[in-house]
Amino acid sequence: MATIIDRVRAYLRSPRGRQNVEKAKRMARDPRTRQKARGFLDRLRRRR
């Protein structure tokens, strides 16, 4: 039985996984996406 880490590694090596990694990298470079992420994290921090 594969551990969760093994399953994640296998996914990241698959064509679909590599495609999603590239999409995430593109989104991380986008200033609008960064601003949305910062806003989300700020809201989470305020709730505590």
Measured between alpha carbons, how far is residue 39 from residues 4, 20, 34 in Å? Answer: 30, 23, 9
Q: Which amino acid is at 29?
A: R
Structure tokens given for 38:
């910062």
- Across the range 2-9, mean pLDDT stands at 93
Task: Give tens-digit pLDDT for 8-41.
Answer: 999 999 999 999 999 999 999 999 999 999 999 9
Exposure string for 5-21, b = 16+ CB within 10 A, e = fewer: eeeeeeeeeeeeeeeee
**More confident call, 19 vs 2:** 19
